[in-house]
Structure 1
Amino acid sequence: MGKLQGKVAVITGGTTGIGLATAQLFVKEGAHVFITGRRQKELDEAVKTIGHNVTGVQGDVANLADLDRLYEIVAKKGRIDIIFANAGYGEFAALGSITEEHFDGLFNTNVKGTLFTVQKAVPLLNDGASIILTGSVASAKGTPAFWVYGATKAAVRNFVGSWTVELKDRGIRSNVLSPGPTETPAVDQQPADAIAQMVSTIPMGRMGTPEEIAKAALFLASDDSSFVTGIELFVDGGRAQI
């Protein structure tokens, strides 16, 4: 019996990187997983990679109509036991070069998308369900030209404190999982000098892997963390701790 045997999980941004690795691990542990992604081709490839007990739903978390369509499909399972609001992205821009497009794009996906991903899931959430939000070490550690992204993740961290109180009577746990720099396709697209600078501040001397972050997500999703709520779990090689 897996740690998530018979559970129903929703993972947004589940086509690559941390989301895909987590979906693979959740399925291995017995869950049926719904994953989302904006691009149909990548979504189809992710579903094929996962192989079984997975449903792919194309959509953008910043688009509320897409979220409504997602939950119409998920509702056929009757409930949600785990919601991993993982969809998001980062983008560098230094003070003096911030544009409205940069700001709105980050906040629409990382903050608005996360909020409505969870709010629209609440009617389907089982009592005792687990809500996991993807935060970031950037919310606690200043990084030049990366602070608008960091501000979005600080907002996400604030959500969890309130939801822990609001949902306590239903036994629903809410936690933030905050990775440090991780070897994902999105990170690979960032400027090499910016990545090198971040890695130089990690005590363990390397970036994390999606599989390492997925194992932490499994902990927060499973009964192993049954008395854990309202926390920010850093999986960052020590970067935010020094």
Structure 2
Amino acid sequence: MQSTSESARFDGRTALITGGATGMGFATAGLLLDEGAKVVITGRGEDRLKRAAERLDAGDRLLALPADVSKPADLDRLMGEVREHFGRIDVVFANAGIGVFKRIEEFTEEDFDSVVDANFKGVFFTVKHALPLLTDGGSIVINASWTHHRGLAVGSLYAATKAAAANLAKTLASALSDRGIRVNAISPGYIDTDMFRESVPTDEAREASRQDVVLGRIGTPEEVASAVAFLASDAASYVNGVDLLVDGGVANSIPA
């Protein structure tokens, strides 16, 4: 993928995308590469990362590194490799996460630990470990979820972790203001990703989800990527500490 003179918002910039091998992370990696960035994608599955790198086909502008964001030792190693290859980070998309959807009485402690570790601890420590490499005036985008805006019977644990992650956008916007680093969250709705299909496995359930959306359709990873790119770009230079819903209206509006 090559940048063009018409679309080069991220020329000279380096972006770190956790959970970048599939779904919204992958789509964002592709868009930022198209717009001139150097991109680091991470994930826990080496085979997925290898396939993603082959599909993105960006040569030495792309670095695909295995890492578990819930493990600080992995993050230390990751940042060391980023420093060695690219020297700095200008954009962080803290996107890695998992979903376990059950009623509260069905959750185990193992479920709790795995979801909290990935969706909150992982986001928190991704930002913490990236800060020494993050340039002053850089941008952080945190992937939250529409589910923390609207109650969902099987979403208690997932939504709670996403609420915590979204709140980081507010507190970190304050904490990092002395460096001019903007921190925002996005809250995607129903997006056609592997995780959505695994969580909503039947055609009937997906149709019910679609009917719950005011726009009448499931969103695409590319639509989320466009929102991430906006928040990370100079076009959003005065946007800070917000949680941007990218959900077709599912959180705030009832279909007619």
If the length of structure 1 is used for normalisation, what is the TM-score?
0.97
CA-CA distance at 1:198 after TM superposition:
3.1
User: Aligned partners of 1:84, 1:46: CA distance in 2, in Å?
Assistant: 17
User: Within the alignment, does 1:75 sit opposite 2:111 as a pair?
Assistant: no
Tell me how far 1:199 sits from its aligned partner: 2.7
CA RMSD for the aligned pairs?
1.1
Aligned residue in 2 for 1:55: 63
Q: What displacement does 1:200 show? A: 2.5
Shift of 1:201: 1.8
Q: Give the structure 1 partner of residue 26 of structure 2.
A: 20
Q: Where in structure 1 are there 5+ consecutive unaligned residues?
A: none
Helix, strand or coil at the partner of 1:88 = coil
Q: Quick one: structure 1 residues 174 and 30, their matched pair in 2 at CA, closer, same or farther if it must change by over 3 Å?
A: same
CA gap 1:196/1:143 in 2 versus in 1, 3 angstroms: farther
Give yes or no for the alignment of 1:43 onto 2:49: yes
Counterpart-to-counterpart distance in 2, 1:66 and 1:196 = 39
Give the one of 63, 73, 98 matched to 1:89: 98
**In the alignment, does 2:180 pair up with 1:171?**
yes
2:115 to 86, 93, 106: 106
Q: Is 1:225 aligned to residue 231 of structure 2?
A: no
Question: Which residues in structure 2 correspond to 1:144-223 (within 5 Å)?
Answer: 144-191=153-200, 192=202, 194-223=205-234
Distance in 1 (CA, whole Å) between partners of 2:146 and 2:207 is 16
Q: How many residues align?
A: 242
Q: Which residue of 2 aligns with 1:32?
A: 38
Q: For 1:214 and 1:95, how far apart are their aligned partners in 2?
A: 32
Structure 2 Cα separation of the partners of residues 194 and 232 of structure 1: 27
- The one-letter code sitting in structure 1 at the alignment partner of 2:55 is T
Measured after TM superposition, the shift of residue 194 of structure 1 is 4.8
Residues 196-205 or 117-126, more deviating: 196-205
Q: What is the CA deviation profile of residues 61-87 of structure 1, one whole-angstrom value per residue up to 9, with x for unaligned ones?
A: 111111111100111222110000000
Structure 2, unpaired ranges of 5+: none
Matched to 1:104, the amino acid is D
Letter aligned with residue 229 of structure 2 = L
Counterpart code for 1:37: G
Counterpart Cα distance in 1 of 2:91 and 2:157 = 28
The alignment partner of 1:81 has SS state of strand
What is the alpha-carbon distance in structure 2 between the residues aligned to residue 195 and residue 144 of structure 1? 16
TM-score between the two structures when normalised by the length of structure 2: 0.92
The amino acid of 1:9's aligned partner reads: A
Mapped to 2, the partners of 1:190 and 1:175 lie a distance apart of 26
